[in-house]
Structures are given as structure tokens and as C-alpha cells.
Structure 1
Amino acid sequence: MYKGDYQLVGSEMSFFTRKLEAQLRFQNIPWSWRFKTEERKAELEARAGTHFIPLLATPDKWLLNDTIAIGPMLNERFPQHPVVPESPLQRACCYILEDAFNHWLGRVCVHSRWCYPDNVTWVGPRFGANMMLDRSIETPFSADELEQLAGIGPMMYEGFGKNVCQYNGVGPDQAEAVKGDFQNMLDALAAHFANNDFLLGQRPCLADFALAGASKAHFICDPEPTSWLGEHREMMFDYTERFFTDWDTTTDSWPEEDQLPDTLSVLLDYLQGTYFKFATANIAAGLAGEKYYEYDYGFGLTRARTQKRLNVARLHVQDELLRLGADTNITIKEVFAGRGILEHYLA
């Protein structure tokens, strides 16, 4: 590969941009921001073939999109700081947890950002800092700048936020369910992080970057979801900020002999009753050609629009699991026995 700096193209307010930033930082990859400004937008989208962010510009002149593909690629390019375990059980969990957090957390992100008018007002200038001013949200705003950028939040709500919440079944009428589920997730994370710094123990993996990205861009950033953290505020701030400071390259390894932290079962219990209810119903409806589906994650029926991407991601994980021989690996089968999770991917 060519030597040189990588450019992270996106927004500091973006879940997946922050996810990729967390990985770049942990792997000590030379990188810099290139905000997706209105001025650069047309050129970047024409070259990348997508309007989605983030994009990663590599020293060898590639412009890549989709963190699901970028993450493993960077793991291979920078093996001195691995983020995907080699042992079968840990590797399987890494990909399964990444898939779950990638797609489940987005619901909370869009609901908490766009369903609360005060939050919409607050996020607008922060989007404007990146898109219009080509600078970080950390730079203080002048009164004139706040006035200049005041309309961005409402404009983005009308053009994007309102619809994306409706399509995901997390509109204002679902506030009680979204907040209740978010609290359940925080409780599960608290049980796990009481004795572990990261999801697989004392070293982060791809799945951690997804959780940290959502938290950095939304949960500890936007005023509304930050107000939901309650007793878990310190836990989420501490966990998240580990990824956005300078890393010690002597970070501990994953547990020996392909072991998992005991408390990972608490997170699997949570995801079994939430993400995998959602994903199974979503994919089945999509494959049947249905535009909408219903599922229950513990708060009554939720109706949402099907997403083709979920099955694409499932097949990506399926490929990894088949390479590991997960369908015949006794240890992997024991950990996931009775959960329906392996069956979801291997069907």
C-alpha cells in the first residue's frame, strides 16, 4: 500500500463518521478531517457514487464508503494494531456485535436528534460549522454565526429528520418506547462495563467503534439524549472519550484462549430481545417484497419501513461466520445456543 495520510470525509455530527474516526485513532493511522461541505458535495458524491458518509480517501487515491467494509480493510493494512480478533469465538462476536450496534443504535440516534424541537435548534449550527464554515464544532460560534446558521436545523428536520424517524418507526409517538429501550441498553452496558473497558474485554474491536461512534455523535453530544443518561452519564462519557484521545499503543489484548467476558451474556440477552427481533422481521418482509413490517421489542408493536441494507449486512456477517466454521464450532454454538442469533445469520 502507499504511505501517507488518510482523509476522513464526513461530519462530526455523523454516527458512522465518528465510528470510523474512532478506529483511525485507535489504530494510530495518520489521518485528517475533510468536512463534507456544500462546496465539495457534488464532486465527492460524483466520485464516490453515493451521498452517504463517511468516505475515506486513501493515500493510493481510493475513495471508499461503508464502514462495514472499511473497518476490516484497515485491520489488514495496519496489523500492528489489530481490531478484529483472530480466534473463532471472539471474531464471531466482533462481527455479530458490530452488525447489531450498527443498525439498532441508529433508531435512537435519529429519534433523539429530530423529535425534540430544542435539540433540532441546537444541532443546526453544529451541522453548519462543518458544512458551511468548514470547521470543527469545537470552535465557539459568534452571535452573527449563530444567527446565520439558525435555519439549518429546521431545514434538515423538514428535509430529512421527520421522514427518517417515521420510516424507522421512531416518531414522536414512540418516545416512551425509545427512551425505555435506551435505558435497558444502558443498564446492560453498565453491568458489562463494571469489569470491562470494552465489549470483548480490555481491548476494543470493530463493534466498540460503532457504539463509541453513536455515543460521540449523539448520546454525549446532543442535549436531548445526554439528558437521558442519568446515573449512566459518567460511564458513557468515560467509555466514549477513551476513543477520542491519544491512545497508548500498549493497550491490553483480548482474553486468552478465545474466552469472552462473562457479562457479555447480558448484552446478548438485550440484543436477542431487541435488535434480532427487528432485523429478523425487517429482512423477512423485505425478501417477501413488502414495504413495511411490524415487530415487538418489548414496548408493543412497532411499524417501520423495510431496509434492503440489513440483509446485505447479514450476508457479510454470514460470510465471516462460515469462514470460521461457526456452524460446526462447538464453542460458538454453545455461546449462542437457544438465542436464534446464529440461525439468523446462517439461514
Structure 2
Amino acid sequence: MYTGEYQLVGSEMSFFTRKLEAQLRFQQIPWRYVFKTEERKGEVEKRANTHFIPLLITPDKWLIHDTIAIGPMLSDRFDQRSVVPETALQRICCYVLEDAFNHWLGRVCVHSRWCYPDNVAWVGPRFGANLMLDRSVDQPFSAEELTQLAPIGPMMHQGFGQGVCETNGVGPDQAEAVQGDFKNMLDALATHFASNDFLLGDRPCLADFALAGASKAHFICDPEPKSWLGEHSEMLHKYTERFYSDWQGELVPWPSGDKVPATLHVVLDYLQESYYPSARANITAGLAGEKYYEYESGFGTIRARTQRRLNLARLHVQDELQRSGGAQDPGVLTLFAGRGILEHYLN
């Protein structure tokens, strides 16, 4: 590979941009932000053939736009600080948790951002900082800039936010369901992080970057989801901000003996009752050619649009299960027994 600087093209208000930023920081990869501004937008989208962010431009001039592919690539390239374990149980937990957090947290992100007028008004200037001013959201705004950028929030809500919430089945009428599920997740994470720094113990993996990215761009950022944190505010702030500062000290190895934390089952319990019923219904309906699917969320029946990418992500994890021998590994079979999670990926 070529040595040099990686360019992260995206927005600081973006879940997946922040996810990739967290990995670049942890692996101590030379990188810099290139905000996707209005001025750069046309050229970038033409070259990438997509409007999605983030994009990663490598020193060897590759342009990649899917964090599911980018994450393992960077882990291999900078293997002195790899973020994918080699042993079967840890590796499979890493990929399973990344898939779940990648696709489940986005619902909370879009609902909390776009279904509350005060939050819409607040996020507009922050998008504008990257989009129009080509600078970080951390730089203070003048009164004139706040006035200038004020229309951006309502404009984005009308052109994007409202529609994406409806597509994901998390419009304003689903506030109770979204907030209830979010509380369940925080309760599970609080139990786990009471005795662990990260999802697999003392060292972050790919799944941690997904959780940290959603938290940095949304949950500890936007006023609305911040107001939902309650007793878990300190926990999530402490967990998240660790990813966005300079990493110091020696790298902690993965737990020996292919062990995972004893409390990981609490996180899996949560996902078993939340993400996986939705994912199975989504994929089944999509493969049958149906545009919409329904599932029982624990807070009533949710109707949302099918998404092709969920099955592609499922097959990605299936490949890892087969290549690593995880589908036959005793530790994997024991941890996931009776959950229906392995069956989701293998069938």
C-alpha cells in the first residue's frame, strides 16, 4: 500500500462519518477531514457515483464509500492496531454487533433529529458549518452566521428528514416506541459498561465505532436525544468521548482464550428482542419483492420500507462465520444458543 494521508469526506453530523473517524483515530492512521461542501458536492458525487457519505480517499487514490468494507480493510492495513479479533468467538461477536448497531441505531438517529422542531432548528447551523462554511461544528457561531444558516434545518427536514423517518417507520407517531427502545438499549449498555470499557472488554472493535459514531453525531450531540439520556448521560458521554481524543499508552491485547465479557449477553438479549425481529422481517419481505414489511417492536406493530442493504450485510457476516469456522465453534454455539441470531445469518 502507499503511505500518506487518508481523506475523510463527509459531515461531522453524520453517524457513519463519525464511525469512520473513530476508527481512524484509534488506529492512529494519518488522516484529515474534507467536508462535503456545496462547492465540492458535484465533483465528489460524480467520482464516487453515490451521494452517500462518508467517502474515504486513500493515499493510493482509492475512493471507498461503505464503512462495512472500509473497516476491515483499514484493520488489515494497520494491523499493529487491528480492530477485528482473530479468534472465532471474538471475531464473530465483533461482526454480529457491528451489523446490529449499524442498522438499528439509524432509526433513533433520524427520528430524534427530524421529528422534533426545536432539534431541527438546532441542527441546521451545525450542518451549515461543514456544508457552507467548510469548517468544524466546534468553532463558535456569530449571531450573523446563525441567522444566515437558520433555513438549513427546515430545508433538510423537508427534503430529507421527514421522508427518511417515514421510510424507517419512525415518524412522529412512533415517539413512544423509539424512546422506549432507546431506554432499553441504554439500560443494557449501562450494565455492560459498568465492568467493561468497550463491547469486547478492554479494547475497541469495529462494533464500538458504530456505537460511538451514532453517539457522537446524534445521542450526545443533538438536544433532543441528549434529553433522553437521564441517569445514563455520564456513561454514554464517557464511553463516546474516549474515541475522539488522542489514544495514549500501550495497546491492550484482546482477552486471552477467546473470551468475551460475561455481561455481553445483556447486550445480545437487547438486540435479540429489538434488531433481529425487524431485520428478519425486512429481509424476508425484500427477498419476496415486497416494498414494505411489518414487525412487532415490543411497543406495537411497526411498518417500514424494505432495505436491500440488510441482506447484503447479513451475507457479509455469514461469510465471516464460514471463513472463521465460527459456525462450528463451541464458544460461538454456546453464547448464541437459542437466540435465533446465528440462524439469521446462516439460513
Calculate the TM-score normalised by the size of structure 1: 0.99
- Supply the distance in 1 between the matched residues of 2:248 and 2:308 (Cα, whole angstroms): 39
- Supply the distance in 2 between the matched residues of 1:328 and 1:243 (Cα, whole angstroms): 34
Give unpaired runs (5+ residues) of structure 1: none
Gap change, CA 1:103 and 1:78, over 3 Å in 2: same
Residues 1:59 and 2:64 aligned together:
no
Contact 2:81 2:251 in 1 (8 A): no
2:187 matched residue in structure 1: 187
1:289 matched residue in structure 2: 289
- Supply the distance in 2 between the matched residues of 1:157 and 1:150 (Cα, whole angstroms): 12
1:173 matched residue in structure 2: 173
2:108 matched residue in structure 1: 108
SS where residue 295 of structure 2 aligns?
strand
- What displacement does 1:251 show? 2.9
- Supply the distance in 2 between the matched residues of 1:328 and 1:128 (Cα, whole angstroms): 50
1:39 matched residue in structure 2: 39
List per-residue Cα deviations over 1:243-277 (Å, max 9, x = no partner): 00000251322211000100000000000000001
List per-residue Cα deviations over 1:265-301 (Å, max 9, x = no partner): 0000000000001100000000000000100121110
* Residue identity in the other structure for 1:9: V
- Supply the distance in 1 between the matched residues of 2:250 and 2:86 (Cα, whole angstroms): 18
- What displacement does 1:327 show? 2.3
List per-residue Cα deviations over 1:213-251 (Å, max 9, x = no partner): 000000000000000000000000000000000002513
- Supply the distance in 2 between the matched residues of 1:80 and 1:317 (Cα, whole angstroms): 24
SS where residue 321 of structure 2 aligns?
helix
The residue correspondences of 1:22-171 to structure 2 (distance < 5 A) are 22-171=22-171
SS where residue 322 of structure 2 aligns?
helix
SS where residue 294 of structure 1 aligns?
strand
- Supply the distance in 1 between the matched residues of 2:328 and 2:246 (Cα, whole angstroms): 41
- Which deviates the most, 125-134 or 248-257? 248-257
List per-residue Cα deviations over 1:188-230 (Å, max 9, x = no partner): 0000000000000000000000000000000000000000000
SS where residue 197 of structure 1 aligns?
coil
% identity of equivalent residues: 75
1:231 matched residue in structure 2: 231
- Supply the distance in 2 between the matched residues of 1:269 and 1:251 (Cα, whole angstroms): 29
Residues 1:270 and 2:267 aligned together:
no
* Residue identity in the other structure for 1:20: L
2:320 matched residue in structure 1: 320
List per-residue Cα deviations over 1:13-69 (Å, max 9, x = no partner): 000000000000000000000000000001001111110000001111111110000
Contact 2:101 2:207 in 1 (8 A): yes
- Supply the distance in 2 between the matched residues of 1:169 and 1:181 (Cα, whole angstroms): 14
- Supply the distance in 2 between the matched residues of 1:297 and 1:91 (Cα, whole angstroms): 28
The residue correspondences of 1:12-31 to structure 2 (distance < 5 A) are 12-31=12-31
SS where residue 80 of structure 1 aligns?
helix
Give unpaired runs (5+ residues) of structure 2: none
- Supply the distance in 1 between the matched residues of 2:254 and 2:3 (Cα, whole angstroms): 29
2:302 matched residue in structure 1: 302
- Supply the distance in 1 between the matched residues of 2:172 and 2:252 (Cα, whole angstroms): 43
* Residue identity in the other structure for 1:138: D
SS where residue 312 of structure 2 aligns?
helix
1:219 matched residue in structure 2: 219
- Supply the distance in 2 between the matched residues of 1:75 and 1:14 (Cα, whole angstroms): 22
- Supply the distance in 1 between the matched residues of 2:273 and 2:260 (Cα, whole angstroms): 21
- Supply the distance in 2 between the matched residues of 1:106 and 1:273 (Cα, whole angstroms): 17
CA RMSD for the aligned pairs? 0.6
SS where residue 302 of structure 1 aligns?
strand
List per-residue Cα deviations over 1:169-195 (Å, max 9, x = no partner): 000000001000000000000000000
